[in-house]
């Protein structure tokens, strides 16, 4: 497929011809120059779950149903898609300038759905500024960076999501606690104490059920190793994919293949199966000696999830900050100013010395 579909092309304002951008928290695209707004046409049917084995066996792990324009960062290797024309553009991961003339077309499995941004950049900056303001001993440069509108980027992060029917046969043991009273010799004499022991008995059986939406981050970028408290999106808010939602934001293409994503999802399905087995065995504790886990009726989706990302460079180290573009939850690592700590310690020493002197 040599050309992108029409839906991937930029949409011009009907009034003034400027580019329309997605308005976060809505289903509209808006002109920032004249204020014209237009509703994003919603799909008549819900997004489709794709049959996994068809893509893995018949089409192949590098299968794609569309092409996308990508800018490759020569500094950190990040691939990013930008839906509108920027006069100047920097990598959202490392800040290195990008050259729009270096754009390349690559194939990808077209996203089936996405969660649109609910926070605009102004709201995200306000959250970031408030969070930085509460950090003790934060460098002044970090606080100034929180005010920089160019330092915070809205990015759609690629994810694979997998559904399946899970069935598992298991052999294990059920453990029930009981207590025995023992007499022990101590320096204070003979004392009694209760000792917990476990009575084991064989257990075996079958468990099964539907596994819904196992999420696998499809990005290899270290900056998109999203903290667990941030990676909590309400998947029920997914809407069918429409490229108009991408306008004004950066979109990252998946770098973890469908095949690798499926392998990682099986490890999570295994954890789910073991939890079901432990619950089925019952008792106070359980042992699982063998579990034959099988998945069937497997389907998948390629989805995009909203994230605000900021990277701050301080004393030779990168610090990453994340804001969930749907919920507003914020988390990140931050530097500490040596001089602020030094001055505080010095002030405490001076105060203690003065108190001691006049006491």
Report the C-alpha gap between 187 and 172 in whole angstroms: 43
Q: Mind listing the pLDDT tens digit for each residue in 160-204? A: 999 999 999 999 999 999 999 888 888 888 888 888 999 999 999
Residue 165: which domain range? 6-174+201-350
Q: Considering the domain boundaries, does residue 132 fall inside one?
A: yes
Per-residue pLDDT at 17: 81
Report the C-alpha gap between 61 and 57 in whole angstroms: 8
Report the C-alpha gap between 36 and 195 in whole angstroms: 75
Number of domains in the chain: 1
Q: Mind listing the pLDDT tens digit for each residue in 2-32? A: 332 333 346 788 888 888 889 999 888 888 8
List own/partner pairs for 71-77 with CB under 8 A and 24 or more apart.
71/98, 71/99, 71/100, 71/102, 71/103, 71/104, 72/102, 72/104, 73/98, 76/221
Per-residue pLDDT at 219: 86
Region 40-53: mean pLDDT is 75
Per-residue pLDDT at 137: 60
Residue 55 pLDDT grade (very low, low, confident, very high; cuts 50, 70, 90)? confident
Report the C-alpha gap between 318 and 311 in whole angstroms: 7
Per-residue pLDDT at 354: 77
Q: Could you tell me which residues are beta bridge partners of residue 181?
A: 194
Q: Mind listing the pLDDT tens digit for each residue in 107-162? A: 778 888 999 999 998 899 888 888 777 766 666 665 555 445 466 888 899 999 99
Of 332, 203, 343, 333, the closest CA to residue 280 belongs to 203
Q: Which of 9-23, 51-65, 254-268 has the lowest mean pLDDT?
A: 51-65
Residue 279 pLDDT grade (very low, low, confident, very high; cuts 50, 70, 90)? very high
Q: Considering the domain boundaries, does residue 179 fall inside one?
A: no
Q: Considering the domain boundaries, does residue 185 fall inside one?
A: no
Q: Cα angle vertex 97, ends 91, 102, to 5°?
A: 90
pLDDT over 90, % of the chain? 34
Q: Considering the domain boundaries, does residue 196 fall inside one?
A: no
Q: Considering the domain boundaries, does residue 151 fall inside one?
A: yes
Eight-state DSSP code of residue 56? I
Per-residue pLDDT at 147: 45
Helix (H) or strand (E) holding 157: strand 153-186
Residue 217 pLDDT grade (very low, low, confident, very high; cuts 50, 70, 90)? very high
Q: Considering the domain boundaries, does residue 82 fall inside one?
A: yes
Per-residue pLDDT at 87: 44
Per-residue pLDDT at 249: 87
Eight-state DSSP code of residue 316? T
Per-residue pLDDT at 7: 31
User: In this structure, are residues 270 and 293 in contact, taking their beta carbons and an 8 Å threshold?
Assistant: yes
Per-residue pLDDT at 144: 54
Per-residue pLDDT at 6: 30
Answer yes or no: is pLDDT of 269 > 90: yes
Q: Considering the domain boundaries, does residue 25 fall inside one?
A: yes
Q: Mind listing the pLDDT tens digit for each residue in 85-106? A: 444 466 766 666 665 656 667 6
Query: Mean pLDDT highest for which of 37-41, 94-98, 151-155, 237-241?
Result: 237-241
């Amino acid at each position: 497929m040599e050309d992108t579909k029409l839906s991937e092309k930029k949409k011009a304002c009907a009034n003034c011809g400027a580019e329309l951008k997605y308005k976060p928290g809505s289903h509209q695209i808006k002109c920032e120059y004249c204020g014209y707004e237009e509703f994003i046409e919603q799909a008549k049917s819900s997004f489709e779950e794709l049959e996994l084995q068809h893509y893995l066996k018949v089409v192949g792990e590098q299968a794609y149903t569309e092409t996308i324009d990508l800018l490759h960062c020569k500094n950190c290797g990040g691939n990013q898609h930008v839906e509108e024309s920027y006069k100047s553009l920097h990598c959202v991961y490392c800040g290195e300038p990008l050259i729009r003339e270096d754009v390349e077309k690559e194939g990808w499995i077209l996203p089936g759905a996405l969660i649109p941004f609910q926070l605009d950049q102004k709201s995200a900056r306000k959250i970031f500024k408030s969070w930085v303001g509460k950090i003790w001993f934060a460098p002044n440069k970090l606080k100034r960076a929180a005010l920089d509108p160019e330092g915070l980027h809205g990015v759609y992060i690629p994810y694979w999501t997998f559904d399946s029917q899970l069935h598992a046969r298991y052999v294990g043991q059920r453990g029930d606690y009981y207590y025995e009273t023992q007499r022990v010799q101590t320096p204070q004499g003979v004392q009694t104490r209760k000792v917990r022991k476990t009575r084991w008995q064989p257990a075996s059986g079958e468990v099964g059920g539907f596994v819904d939406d196992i999420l696998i981050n499809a990005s290899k970028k270290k900056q998109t190793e999203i903290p667990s408290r941030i990676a909590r999106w309400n998947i029920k808010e997914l809407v069918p994919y429409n490229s108009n939602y991408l306008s004004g934001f950066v979109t990252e293409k998946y770098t973890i293949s469908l095949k690798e994503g499926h392998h990682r999802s099986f490890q999570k399905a295994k954890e789910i199966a073991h939890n079901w087995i432990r619950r089925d065995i019952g008792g106070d504790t359980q042992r699982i000696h063998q579990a034959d886990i099988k998945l069937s009726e497997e389907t998948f989706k390629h989805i995009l999830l909203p994230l605000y990302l900021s990277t701050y460079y301080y004393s030779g180290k990168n610090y990453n900050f994340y804001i969930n573009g749907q919920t507003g939850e914020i988390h990140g690592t931050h530097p500490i100013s040596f001089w602020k700590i030094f001055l505080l310690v010095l002030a405490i020493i001076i105060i203690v010395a003065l108190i001691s002197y006049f006491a």
